[in-house]
Structure 1
Amino acid sequence: MRIYTHPACTRHDPGPGHAERPLRLVAVTEALREAFPDALHWEEAPRASRGQLLRVHDDALLALVLDTPVDGPMALDPDTVLAPGSAEAALRAAGAGIAAVDAVMHGEVRRVFCAVRPPGHHATPSAAMGFCLFNNIAVAAAHACDKHGLSRVAVVDFDVHHGNGTQAIFDTDA
């Protein structure tokens, strides 16, 4: 199985005591490396482009996340923080999903896991929220349809609660 990840994903640091912290990703990648030392193929997650992000997000959200100068953690809402490493982490997290779609669609692999952060399923077309800056799975699903000609993509969200952002992005799709 191929794993996409990137060190930048650990540099998105919402600050002390925040539930969505870098150590979550470190714990996942260390556990995977220990449990499956020879079965996983690790790849560096590329950056998503602005054009790829614009398939599901508006210009204002991209400007907020990518162009806002930040010297320290800046609250976007009660749960969501923009910090100095956040933009690069968010680009890599969204890019991992795109690379995963491409790898499967090109027949390189059958299974892919993206070990990235920040998470994405709460980000709506116009808002970062619920720890999420960009909606990584929505970016990947839109890429699958636009670049690989798929007419439908199933998104299985196994988080403990509803992915409102993913629903908001695809709610009008038939």
Structure 2
Amino acid sequence: MLGMISHNDCLLHDPGSHHPDHADRLYAINNQIIMSGLDFVLRHYDAPLATREQLGRAHDPAYVDRVFDMAPSEGSVEIDGDTVMSKDTLQAALRAAGAGVMGVDLIMRGESNPVFCAVRPPGHHAEYAKAMGFCLFDNIAVAAAHALETHGLERVAIVDFDVHHGNGTEDIFKNDERVLFCSSFQHPF
């Protein structure tokens, strides 16, 4: 069975009306799945919240604490020119990272293969101890670290397709021989 993991909390992340990462991205994915007829072959799952322990397998625990501490209770906080946290961003980011962890668990238990995670904010620019490029937590790095540490996999391959290089994922795994990271990106734009 094909699995699709998402959560309505991912729609609430609001980096501002001018920002290219907006909820319409997830609505567009859902609409295309319905129009293609794939909705009938998917099993839908609600993404859980990633735990600090899960995040700490890919990120500096002190950085994880800083992200929690800087989350605004109202309004927004600009981390850099591209990365903004609104009052609902932390919850959305925890769901996005939790989706990857759940996806690994579903595959490893033989309950779903493949799995697609329709989440935001994205993750592949978040480095070991730094947010950037719309990303707070590196969702795929959290998932890969979970596969290695929880399920005992000896090797994990990550193939990153995007207009930008997955610099955060590379930063996190650059010295880990258990992870093969391949990034296919467009440059110049």
Normalising by the smaller structure, the TM-score range is: over 0.9
Q: Which residue of 2 aligns with 1:84?
A: 87
**How far is the alpha carbon of 1:138 from its aligned partner?**
0.2
Paired with 1:13 and 1:64, the residues of 2 have a C-alpha distance of 20
Q: Which residue of 2 aligns with 1:22?
A: 23
Q: Which residue of 2 aligns with 1:95?
A: 98
- Listed one character per residue, the Cα deviations across residues 119-139 of structure 1 (whole Å, up to 9, x for unaligned) are 000000101100001000000
Asked if structure 1 preserves the Cα contact closer than 8 Å seen for 2:9 and 2:95, the reply is yes
Name the structure where strand makes up a greater proportion of residues: 2
Paired with 2:79 and 2:63, the residues of 1 have a C-alpha distance of 11
Larger RCO: 1 or 2 (CA < 8 Å, sep 6+) = 1
Asked if structure 1 preserves the Cα contact closer than 8 Å seen for 2:127 and 2:167, the reply is yes
Task: Give the paired residue count.
Answer: 174
- Listed one character per residue, the Cα deviations across residues 86-129 of structure 1 (whole Å, up to 9, x for unaligned) are 00000000000000000001111121000000000000010110
Asked if structure 1 preserves the Cα contact closer than 8 Å seen for 2:83 and 2:135, the reply is yes
**How far is the alpha carbon of 1:59 from its aligned partner?**
2.6
What percentage of aligned pairs have identical amino acids?
52
Paired with 1:151 and 1:124, the residues of 2 have a C-alpha distance of 23
Paired with 2:71 and 2:78, the residues of 1 have a C-alpha distance of 13
Q: Spell out the pairing of 1:1-150 with structure 2 (5 A cutoff).
A: 1-35=2-36, 36-70=38-72, 71-150=74-153
**How far is the alpha carbon of 1:41 from its aligned partner?**
1.1
SS class of match (1:64)? helix
- Residue 160 in 1 paired to residue 163 in 2? yes
What RMSD, in angstroms, separates the aligned Cα atoms of the two structures?
1.0
**How far is the alpha carbon of 1:172 from its aligned partner?**
0.4
AA of the residue aligned to 1:118: P
Paired with 2:62 and 2:133, the residues of 1 have a C-alpha distance of 18
Q: What is the TM-score of this pair, normalised by structure 2?
A: 0.89
Structure 1 segments (4+ residues) deviating >4 Å: none
SS class of match (2:164)? coil
Unaligned runs of 5+ in 1: none
**How far is the alpha carbon of 1:33 from its aligned partner?**
2.5
SS class of match (2:136)? coil
Q: What is the TM-score of this pair, normalised by structure 1?
A: 0.96
Asked if structure 2 preserves the Cα contact closer than 8 Å seen for 1:65 and 1:82, the reply is no
SS class of match (2:5)? strand
Unaligned runs of 5+ in 2: 178-189
SS class of match (2:90)? helix
**How far is the alpha carbon of 1:64 from its aligned partner?**
2.8
